Chain A
Amino acid sequence: MSEYPEIPQESWPVAAPSPEATNGASPQSPHLTDELLAGWAANELADDERGAVQRHLDTCAYCQSALAETQRIRALARASATSAGAPVASASLVEHVLARLPDQSQPARDITAHATDSTP
């Protein structure tokens, strides 16, 4: 019987955490993936998944540490956020953009082109 029968084998971490992030732990080791850690920390896991992760955390010091690190990273990322402040001055931004557009007689280029990746 598996030590952690509640979590399907395919949910275990084949790709996470990286060797760098795990101080050399084997990628095959039965620890929570970053996807599961992220979902747990954000309260985005389904109930059954959440229960399985909780049971794993109860017995795995390594993943408890990884979760603590994840929580710290979340706090740091939130701390980096700028305050909402005043919204951008709409009229000003639109005017600036319009002033920099090509002449109205020159339509946007490549009208007939169809690129699969059209992100400029």
Chain B
Amino acid sequence: MGLSDIASADELSQIHRATTGDHAAFAALVRRYEQRIHGYLRQMVGDAETASDLTQETFLAAYRALARWQPPPETAAGTTTRATDLLSPWLYRIATNRALSLLRSQATHSRTPQQPLTSGGSSLEDTVIGRELLRAALNTLDDDDTVCLVLHYVAGERYGEIATRLNLSSEAVRKRVGRALTALRRAYAALETEAQQ
């Protein structure tokens, strides 16, 4: 049995114990994933405090639904499945779901850019436009495409890293990143139209 198998068995044991109400086991799972989930949510919503709240909500939702979680199928041909971090793809989906709900519930503060988007404004201006762009694009994607958009375009992760994190094949990540670009280009075109009016 390799190290990753041992780690996987250890995590599986923690998951089973957590489903029987073992809070210590669940705490171990929270510690295992909290930094990654918090970092992801921070990129998605833009501030640390909101990300902390959403991280807590993500783990609480995960606890409530943990008994329904099922281990991923064994590594399929052509995938880069990692034997450890069994809960990783599932937790990202829950976090994405929570963050999208929040973003969609927030009032859309329409902002008219003061200059053409193509010119490249100040870093602050780019940050504001970038967040608007993300908000608009994220509203049109499903959860898995959303995760790929945030991890690639915002966090700057490579396709292979995302594939490992989400238990997806590199080909699947490539298609999702392509769809994310389509959504971003649509959002960009809409913002550009707005800026010209």
Contacts and interface: CB of A to CB of B under 8 A. Distances in A.
Interface of A: 16-18, 20-21, 33-39, 42, 44, 66, 68-70, 72-82, 84-85, 87-88, 90, 93-94, 96-98, 100-102, 104-115, 118-120
A70 B177 CA distance: 12
B134 A80 contact: yes
A113 B126 contact: no
A35 B143 contact: no
Residue of A72, A80, A112 with most chain B CB atoms under a 10 A cut-off? A80
A85 B38 CA distance: 12
16 contacts: A16-B182, A39-B177, A66-B185, A69-B185, A74-B153, A76-B188, A78-B130, A80-B133, A82-B43, A87-B35, A88-B48, A105-B21, A108-B18, A108-B19, A114-B70, A119-B97
B120 A72 contact: yes
Residue of A85, A93, A98, A115 with most chain B CB atoms under a 10 A cut-off? A93
A77 to B, nearest CB: 4
A19 to B, nearest CB: 10
Contacts of A80: 46, 127, 130-131, 133-134, 154
A81 B61 CA distance: 26
